[in-house]
Amino acid sequence: MTEPVLTFTDRGIYCPAGDFFIDPWRPVDRALITHGHADHARPGHTHYLATDAALPVMRHRLGEITAQGIAYGETRQIGGAQVSFHPAGHIPGSAQIRVEVAGEVWVVSGDYKTTPDGLCEPFEPVRCHSFISECTFGLPVFKWHDQRSVASEINAWWAANRAAGRFSLLGAYSLGKAQRLLSLLEPQGPILTHGAVEATNAILRDQGYTLPDTTHVTPALNPKEVPGALVIAPPSALGSQWARRFRPASTGFASGWMRLRGIRRRRAMDRGFVISDHADWDGLHAAIRDTGAENIYVTHGYTDIFARWLNERGWNAQVVPTEFGGEEEDSAPAEAAE
């Protein structure tokens, strides 16, 4: 019996022909990484391979690593496998990984979204026989509005807060979401950033990504000198002492999970903005259809429901247990399952 191109092990997705893993969650010798979020790019591997655009953030987050970069679309031979990386549209530098062995092609999606956001490299469908797809938002309720309308909501919220003499505290994850929001803002005052956000901003600016001017919040910053500023920080920082210096304030949170009213209520935010760096229900279907794949393996998200839906429509779909979802937005809040 011919060995499959990719197998699923307790360390991660493995290619026997090339003797490498893709986004492994246990230390391995050779790891191919789809993007820099913590649940996909973990410490401890001997050798890393990622896109040239993803490596700077990975080095910042992981420290000293032995890593090589690869350009989008470049083909590389690793043992008996040909590999190439293709834009996933998730965050800057993110990729799908195509693996071909003896004419059979598998693609690992990593995390992805199918609609261009004006910041990161747009998603490109990759034809294959088997597709390993995330389905973080694999329910019909998850359908995203045009990001221009969401941008208008955020800009209007900020303007109203400024007029009322309030700060606007906006929760957004420090890699990807924060920079996407920055690219959508209409300048109307100072934009302040938490250190985790600003460190990522600096790395991406150095790579040529265009972001508006921001000010790092340090202990020396006097909030009275920046009234009505917009403050972008990881959600975990919004209820901390760090954020309490900005008063009075309105708090908001930007996430696909804001599509669920119960989560908006329980997060105790003044505003929830529905915007995600993952594909919505329609985007997942479009991506899978465009691969032409017959075999679909679904990981992290509403896997059982989504696999059943695919099987009812003629795909050969099955659920693959993984340990992805450690980056905050990649795993469903507990209340989403209630």
pTM: 0.94
* Three-class secondary structure of residue 39 per DSSP: coil
- Residue 38 to residue 91: CA distance in whole angstroms: 13
pLDDT at 334 over 70: no
Res 336: pLDDT: 35
Least confident of 65-79, 222-236, 322-336: 322-336
For residue 169, CA distances in Å to 87, 191, 197, 250 come to: 31, 10, 13, 6
Q: Which has the closest alpha carbon to 337: 257, 269, 277?
A: 257
pLDDT (mean) for 63-87: 98
- Residue 298 to residue 319: CA distance in whole angstroms: 5
Res 338: pLDDT: 26
For residue 331, CA distances in Å to 130, 171, 188, 268, 310 come to: 24, 16, 33, 19, 21
pLDDT at 327 over 50: no
- 335 pLDDT tier (thresholds 50, 70, 90): very low
pLDDT (mean) for 118-122: 97
Least confident of 48-62, 104-118, 175-189, 320-334: 320-334
Res 256: pLDDT: 92
Residue type (1 letter), 83: V
Res 92: pLDDT: 98
- 187 pLDDT tier (thresholds 50, 70, 90): confident
Q: What is the H or E stretch that residue 133 is in?
A: strand 130-135
Residue position matching structure tokens 């490299």: 121
